[in-house]
Amino acid sequence: MQRGSDSLGVLPLGTPSLRKRAEDVDSRGESLSGDAARLLTTLDNFRATFGFGRAISGPQIGIDLRMIAVRMAGWPSIVINPVITWQSADSVTLWDDCMCFPDLLVLVRRSASISLSFTSLDDVVHQRARLNIAEAELFQHEVDHLNGILAIDRAEGRNALISRSAFVEDVSHFHKKVDYIGSN
């Protein structure tokens, strides 16, 4: 039985607004705090239900703003107006998962490292240079969401889409098909 992420407020694959470029955040009003709280709550509830998810972008829950909720040590809980300022020439393949289609994994190619500029909720500008691969692949995924690009748009090669149940049944087989095995 599939568990619908849309019951948690995450828009499912096929929702037209997921294809739209999100608007820059240009104010720090009360509505931004409310949107940030809603994004974090959705991330926490999704992770409790599905067991994966380190970040979620505003468009994934219908917030048309360039913001990402993050649950990773050393990162602010909300990343605003992120910009990838550098990408490594080296790339890796990996099985990407997404909250918009939690029962599917997609074989994608991502840069092995990126540098990221963003603002936190306290209006501090941050520069993170040469992120490790786990952070780099995550933020590439989330910035894609902010630009209306989904992981399925980056599907790499034949048989690039698999069900999570097939993946779980033969994890070692699918791990052999990629360069990088990510973390949740």
Architecture field, domain 5-175: Alpha-Beta Complex (3.90)
* 30 noted as active-site residue: no
State the catalytic residue, choosing from 23, 30, 137, 142.
Answer: 142
Q: Which residues of the chain have pLDDT under 70?
A: 1-4, 183-184
What does the pLDDT look like over 31-67, one tens digit per residue? 899 999 999 999 999 999 999 999 999 999 999 999 9
Q: Please tell me the distance from the alpha carbon of residue 38 to that of residue 9, in angstroms, as a whole number.
A: 10
CB atoms within 10 A of CB 170: 11
Rg (C-alpha) for the chain, rounded Å, is 16
- The pTM score is 0.94
What is residue 69's predicted lDDT score, i.e. its pLDDT? 98
